[in-house]
Amino acid sequence: MAAVTTYREALRATLMEEMDRNPAVVLLGEDIGVYQGTFRITADFLSRYGPRRVIDTPISELGFIGAAIGMAMLGLRPVVEVMTWNFSLLAADQILNNAAKLRYFSGGQVEVPLVIRGPNGAGVQLSAQHSQSLEAVYAHFPGLQVALPATPADVRGLLLTALRGQDPVIFLENAALYGVKGEVPDGDAAIPFGRAEVMRGGRDVTLIAYSRMVHLALAAAEHLAREGVEAEVINLRTLRPLDGETVIHSVRRTHRAVVVQEQWKPFGAAAEIAALISEEAFDLLDAPVERVTGADVPMPYARNLELLALPHERDIVAAARRTLYRQ
C-alpha cells in the first residue's frame, strides 16, 4: 500500500519513525525545538522526545556539527538540521576534514553515522548568500555520501538508508519541494544509495537530473512528447555514489543526453556526468552532451532577475532539440 503525502511530511514521519525505533537518534540544530524548525520539519518533536533528544543549538555551525561528529563517534546517531546548506560553509572544516576522513584516519576503527540535512539551492528571493547549490562541493570529497531526493518517496527511502548507515550523509533537500505531494510506500522502503530511477521511458534522448530539476525534466519530456520526441528521464537520487550504470545504459539506447542542474555551470555535477558519458559511451553519441544549468552569476534578489538565473523547462526542451538537430 502507498499513501499520498508531502515531501515535508515524509521527512517528519521518517524522522519520527526512526526516533521511535532507535533511541540513539538525536536531533540538533538552530530553532528546531521551541520554534519547531524554520520549515516546520521538527514541529512537535520537542514535546514528544524532550530536550535530551531534540537539542536547540546556539548559532554556531562549526560548534554543533563538531559536537554531532563526536556524538556519532561514541555511538549515537545524530541528525543535524542546517537552516540552509549555505550555513554549512561555516562548518566546512568539521565536515570535510573530520566527518569525511575519520574512518580513513582510524583504519576503519571509527565510524561517523551522522546525517546533516536541510534545504539546498534557490528559494524565492533569498538572494546570493542563501540560494547556492552546494552538491558538487560535497560530492567532491571521498568519505561523504550525497543524497538529493526529488519526491516524497525518495525522501523516505533515502532518509531511511541515511539513518541506518555507518558513514556521514549530506542530505540535500529543496525548499521548493516541501509542499510537493506524492505516493510513499508503507513499511520498510529504504532506497539503496547509488540506485537511480528511470521515471519516464523514452527512445530519443536521455534527460538526467536530480532534486527539483527532475520535475522540470519530466515537464520538458511531456512537452517534447507533443512534438513526437520520446525523452527518457533519469532521477539520479544520489551523486555520491553515482549510478553511472543506469545513465550509460540509457544513453547507449538513445544516443543523446541532456544533464540538468540548478547550480552554476563551471565545475558542476553536470560536468562530471557529461565526462562519464564521454568516457563510457562516446562512440555511441549522435550529438554532444548538453548541459542545462543556472546562470553563472550570484543569485539576484529581484524576482525577475532571479527567474532569469534559474533553469526552466523551456531550456531543457531547447537542449533536447539541439541534440536532435531540430534547433
- Catalytic entry in 9, 18, 30, 61: 61
Report the 10 Å Cβ neighbour count for 25: 22
HEC per residue, the chain: CEEEEEHHHHHHHHHHHHHHHCCCEEEEECCCCCCCCCCCCCCCHHHHHCCCCEEECCCCHHHHHHHHHHHHHCCCEEEEECCCHHHHHHHHHHHHHHHCCHHHHCCCCCCCCCEEEEECCCCCCCCCCCCCCCHHHHHCCCCCEEECCCCHHHHHHHHHHHHHCCCCEEEEECHHHCCCEEEEECCCCCCCCCCCEEEECCCCEEEEECCCHHHHHHHHHHHHHCCCCCEEEEECCEEECCCHHHHHHHHHHHCCEEEEEEEECCCCHHHHHHHHHHHHHHHHCCCCCEEEEECCCCCCCCHHHHHHHCCCHHHHHHHHHHHCCCC
Catalytic residue check, 249: no
Per-residue tens of pLDDT for the chain, all 327 residues: 789 999 999 999 999 999 999 999 999 999 999 999 999 999 999 999 999 999 999 999 999 999 999 999 999 999 999 999 999 999 999 999 999 999 999 999 999 999 999 999 998 888 999 999 999 999 999 999 999 999 999 999 999 999 999 999 999 999 999 999 999 998 888 999 999 999 999 999 999 999 999 999 999 999 999 999 999 999 999 999 999 999 999 999 999 999 999 999 999 999 999 999 999 999 999 999 999 999 999 999 999 999 999 999 999 999 999 999 987
pLDDT at 23: 98
Residue 130 annotated to the active site: yes
| Catalytic hit among 130, 140, 223, 255 | 130
Q: What is the predicted pLDDT for the residue at 188?
A: 84
Per-residue pLDDT tens digits for 155-209: 999 999 999 999 999 999 999 999 999 999 988 889 999 999 999 999 999 999 9
Instruction: Give the pLDDT of residue 60.
Output: 96
The pLDDT score that the predictor gives to residue 1 is 72
Residue 287 near residue 323, CB atoms below 8 Å:
yes
Q: What is the pLDDT of residue 187?
A: 83
